Structure 1
Amino acid sequence: MIFADGTLGLIVFGLWIFCIIDVITTDESQCRNLPKLAWLFIVLFLFDIGSIIWLIAGSARTNKAASGLPYKGNAGNGSRFPEYERQGRIPATNPDDDEAFLRQCRERAEKQRQQLKRNQQAQEDGA
C-alpha cells in the first residue's frame, strides 16, 4: 500500500513538473482561455487540479506526426510560407513598374544633389 501511494505521488509530481515546464515553454499565442501568466499561477498553486485544468483547457495540442514538419506553428496545410497567406497582407510589387515610386526616388535624388551643391558652394564662399 505504501508503495502504491509513493508511486501515485511521484506520478502526480511528474505531471505537475511537466505542466509547469509546458506552460513556460508554450508560446503566448498558443495559450487558450487565459493569459500565460495566469496559467502559470494556476498550475503552480493548484498542483494536480491546476495541471489537469491546464491540459484540458489551457494548452493547444497539435498533432506533430500529421503535419510532417518539425518547426513550431506548422499547420500542415502545404504552404511553406504561411505569412504570405495572412489576412490583409499587401502583396509585394516590382518597384520598376511603379511610376509614382520611381518619380519620388528621382525627386529625392535631385533634392539631395541640389543640397550637396549648396553646401559645396557655401564652403567655397566661406573659405
Structure 2
Amino acid sequence: MIRLLPWLLSIALTIYALVDCIQTDDARIRNLPKLIWLLLVLLFPIVGPIAWFIAGRPQRGEGGSRPGRGTTHPPPPPRGPDDDPDFLRRL
C-alpha cells in the first residue's frame, strides 16, 4: 500500500491542477497560454502541476481562480438613527 502512495499523490495533484487550469479564465492565466499549461500539467506529472501553481495560476490579489470570489470592500459601519437621512425624513 505504501508503494502506491506516491502514485496516488501524483495522480491527485495532476487532476487537481488540470481541473483548476480548465476552470480558470483564459485572460487571467499568467506567463503561458492555457493550452500550453494544460499540456505541461498532463505531460509532466509532478513538475507540471507545481509549475502551474507557482507560475501560471492567477494570484490571490487578482480574485482567485473562481468567478465571484474577487476582492470586496467591507460593508460600511452601521449608522445611528440621527445620521440616517431616510429616518429623519420619516419623522
CA RMSD of aligned residues (A): 2.1
Give aligned pairs, total: 69
Structure 1 stretches of 4+ moved >4 Å = none
Report the Cα distance in structure 1 between the residues aligned to 2:42 and 2:6, rounded to whole angstroms: 19
Q: Which runs of 5+ in 1 are unaligned?
A: 64-69, 80-127
Other-structure match for 1:24: 22
Residue 47 of structure 1, aligned match among 45, 48, 51? 45
Distance in 2 of aligned mates of 1:43 and 1:12? 11
Of the candidates 59, 71, 85, which is equivalent to residue 68 of structure 2? 71
The answer for the alignment partner of 2:82 in structure 1 is: none
What is the percentage of aligned positions where both structures have the same residue?
Answer: 35
Larger RCO (CA under 8 A, 6+ residues apart): 2
Q: How far apart, CA to CA, are the structure 2 residues paired with 1:9 and 1:61?
A: 28
* AA of the residue aligned to 1:71: G
